[in-house]
Structure 1
Amino acid sequence: MDKTKLREQALFIRTSLFDQGFLDEQFIELEELQDDANPNFVEEIVTLFYSDSVRLIYNIERGLMTNPPNFTKLDDFMHQFKGSCSSIGAKKVKTECSRFSEYCEAENFEG
């Protein structure tokens, strides 16, 4: 596959992620910060996001196993996760984090 085809495919995937609501304008802002001095900037930020996500999801899962659950602590983890999502433009995940926080505030374990 030549470079033109690869660029077209990458643009298609990027557009699809925006059209389906997975990403928001924050991701575009990250892309605009990437330049010749730091050509891997977006990749590095997304890699950090994934590393943080693994840690936060692990902490949330552990928090859900306590009886009774500490909703304040769970909400703190979720707030951190939502902030990470916001920083890279992960719109759908950020929306789900907000929903989870609402359940924590209501102390609704089933939610």
Structure 2
Amino acid sequence: MAGTTVSEQLKKYIQSMHDQGVLDYHFDHVKALQNEENPGFVMEVISMFSHDAEAAIANLTTLLNSPVVDFAKLISFVHQLKGSSSSIGGERMALACRQLRQACDNMDKESCLQIFERMKQEYNALRECLNVISQMERSIIVAQEQDPNVPSAF
């Protein structure tokens, strides 16, 4: 992408993540909240999401690996994860969470384990996408600090 600014690269990358179904319009809403007063807003939201998702996945792992599954607790963590992934625009991850919720409602441990593995794959894809976005956002902020004429990410 020689000759393009990091801001242009970021826009193209986000569009490609939309095209692949990794991100949906909710991410655009998060991005729209970023402004000159808070240029690191997207990075902060991504960091909070990643931290919370890691904790929820750890709790889900513990619950699913126990001999007797507490489906009520499982549903609580799945619901939390579905909400946060949906809020940040993680379309495929939110879908996997909805499917995991259905398996929990059916109290089907085997289905839960299978869908949980797929949900973790979707989380890893989303996390990788969000990490790239954070790196680009960070480089834009650094470039702007060095040269105020650099185009912003918002």
- TM-score category, normalised to shorter length: over 0.9
Give the drift of 1:3: 7.4
Instruction: State the AA in 2 paired with 1:56.
Output: A
Partner of 1:30: 30
Aligned length: 111
For normalisation by structure 1, the TM-score amounts to 0.93
Task: Give the Cα–Cα distance (whole angstroms) in 2 for the partners of residues 30 and 68 of structure 1.
Answer: 39
Task: Give the Cα–Cα distance (whole angstroms) in 2 for the partners of residues 48 and 24 of structure 1.
Answer: 19
The list of structure 1 runs, each at least 4 consecutive aligned residues, that deviate by more than 3 angstroms after superposition, is: none
Q: Verify: 1:15 aligned to 2:18, yes or no.
A: no
User: What's the C-alpha RMSD, in Å, of the aligned pairs?
Assistant: 1.6
Partner of 2:39: 39
**Unpaired segments of 5 or more residues in structure 1?**
none
Partner of 1:107: 107
Q: Which has the higher contact order (CA 8 A, sep 6+)?
A: 2
Q: Superposition pairs for residues 45-84 of structure 1, below 5 Å?
A: 45-84=45-84
**Unpaired segments of 5 or more residues in structure 2?**
112-154
Could you list the per-position Cα deviations for residues 34-79 of structure 1 after superposition, in whole angstroms to 9, with x for gaps in the alignment? Answer: 0000001011001100000110000000001111111111111000
For normalisation by structure 2, the TM-score amounts to 0.68
Kindly, what percent of the aligned residue pairs are identical?
Answer: 35
